[in-house]
Amino acid sequence: MIKGSEARSEKSEAREWIQAVIIAVLIAFGIKFFLFDFVRVDGSSMYPTLQNNNRVIVNKIGYRLGDPEYGDIVILSFDQSTEYVKRIIGKGGDTISIKDNVVYRNGEPLVETYINNEDYPDFDEVTVPEGSYFVLGDNRNHSSDSRFASLGFVERDRIDGKVVFRIFPFSEWGSVYN
């Protein structure tokens, strides 16, 4: 038989455990939704930098404090159920064109050591609207990106975060920026 003070003590201990679990779950959700996320790459649009089924960590807080930079690999919200992973090539006010497998930003050729070395189509010059970004996949022939009306220019609020680290496969663990 349990005496009154012992029963209260057991209830108090159970309540503390429940509170601790609830707080831990809230912290975990807060980290996932506001600071960092884990994303599985689906598809080959970022090959060779990222491959199908790679798992990456996305920094979500960085873009709350600053803006995306040229070369950043970002996660984009396309709609409620679709996200894209692409590389920032142009910002608002930049002109972008592609000629003979070379991307030109503001008339200057980009040195892109990270792309898949296949020929890809030319693209007539466009000007990126203010508050928007021009993004490309590293595997240009197999990427739905800003060259196509289906994605087009990406508004700032559609960028969820910056890919910062590959965690799977373990043999490729580390930074995605070389």
Residues with a known catalytic role = 45, 86
SS3 106: coil
Q: What are the φ/ψ torsions at residue 140 (nearest 5 degrees)? A: -55, -35
Contact (Cβ atoms closer than 8 angstroms) between residue 68 and residue 166: no
- For the chain, report the end-to-end CA distance as a whole number of angstroms: 67
Q: What is the DSSP string of 23-67?
A: HHHHHHHHIIIIIEEEEE--SSTTTTTS-TT-EEEEESSHHHHS-
- Cα distances (angstroms) measured from residue 144 to each of 78, 123, 171: 11, 14, 28
